[in-house]
Structure 1
Amino acid sequence: MRRGAAGVLAVATLLLTTGCGGGVRDHIADKFAHRGTQGDITTYFSPDPVGTTVERIVRDDVPAARKADGNNEYLRYNDDIVTVGPAPGGGSTIDVEDLDGRYRSGHFTYLGTGFTPGSPAAGNTSGGSGSAK
């Protein structure tokens, strides 16, 4: 009987720590209009400008790292990268991308701490330098 209880506890702990059953991907899908999926990138639309859209996202899900670069904001979560940028004609485009692929190959290293594969995100959770509002 102890083994069964220990197994259930281990599975519950794994689900809680890996973010199954929720997370930024689900919140974005619930709040914004789905525009399409290409490969592992899912795109959504917000009628609000980039800063307002980002604040709506981070209010529900605090990212491990956050950085602005030009007109785009990048939010790194445990399993996803969220890129919010201006949409043609107004509003914002939101791309949700799995951390595999471009992230693991170093595509986001130019953003610095928290975006380099294997880099610690400590100290960059409050928006860091360059965060647009």
Structure 2
Amino acid sequence: MNSARFVRTAVAVVLAATVLSACSGDGDGDAVPREWIRKTYAASGSGWVDADSAPGEVARAIRAERAELDRASGGGMEFLRYGDDMVTVSPYRGGSLIEIEDYRNGYRRHQRHLTYWPDPDSASFRGGGPGEGK
């Protein structure tokens, strides 16, 4: 009797762990590829710099590393949205400046270029991070 109970308990624990890990996720699916950006580009005071590539090229490289949830462009800049964060790639000394910031702050700074992105201050904004809107 004890071995049957042990097997049932073990199976229940494994199933529960599997279900919980599948539901929680690690959030990396919609997260900015920060570590890759840190390793790939030169650090600068407010972000990272690619001295030789235009913003469109840099944005394509970042998107190739991890697909964004949404993107926009305007004023020579490229914007990539990743959940609760965004990446702004702007012209800088013949190359590009890459900045990562909270979506709310980035939206406020660049709102005129993000005309179809959701306003984070609206009642209908769901964010995009793990567990948001559920």
TM-score by length of 2: 0.66
Question: What pairs up with 1:25-44 in 2 under 5 angstroms?
Answer: 25-36=34-45, 43-44=47-48
Q: Report the equivalent of 1:61.
A: 66
Separation in structure 2 between the aligned mates of residue 115 and residue 75 of structure 1, nearest angstrom: 13
Query: Whole-Å Cα distance in 2 between the matches of residues 29 and 12 of structure 1?
Result: 29
Would you say how many aligned residue pairs link Structure 1 and Structure 2? 110
1:43-122 pair list within 5 angstroms: 43-47=47-51, 48-87=53-92, 89-99=93-103, 101-103=104-106, 107=108, 108-110=110-112, 111-117=114-120, 118=125
Q: Which has the larger radius of gyration?
A: 2
2-structure distance, mates of 1:15, 1:27: 20
Can you list the C-alpha shifts for 1:54-104, whole angstroms capped at 9, x where unaligned?
1111112221111111011111011320000011x22100001133x515x
2:4 matched to which residue of 1? none
Name the TM-score, length of structure 1 as normaliser: 0.66
Unpaired runs of 5+ in structure 1?
Answer: 38-42, 122-133
Q: 1:60 to 1:115 in 2, by over 3 A?
A: farther
Gaps of 5+ in 2: 1-9, 129-134
Aligned-residue RMSD, C-alpha: 2.8
The CA deviation string for residues 93-116 of structure 1, in whole angstroms up to 9 with x for no partner, is 0001133x515xx51543122342
For each residue in 1:3-24, what CA deviation from the matched residue of structure 2 results, as whole angstroms up to 9, or x when unmatched?
Answer: 53244321354234x118x742
Q: Which has the higher helix share?
A: 2
Q: Secondary structure at the match of 2:36?
A: helix
Q: Distance in 1 between matches of 2:84 and 2:16?
A: 24
Contact 1:45 1:93 in 2 (8 A): yes
1:49 CA displacement = 1.4
Q: Is the contact made by 1:113 and 1:119 (CA closer than 8 Å) also made in structure 2?
A: no
The residue type paired with residue 72 of structure 1 is M
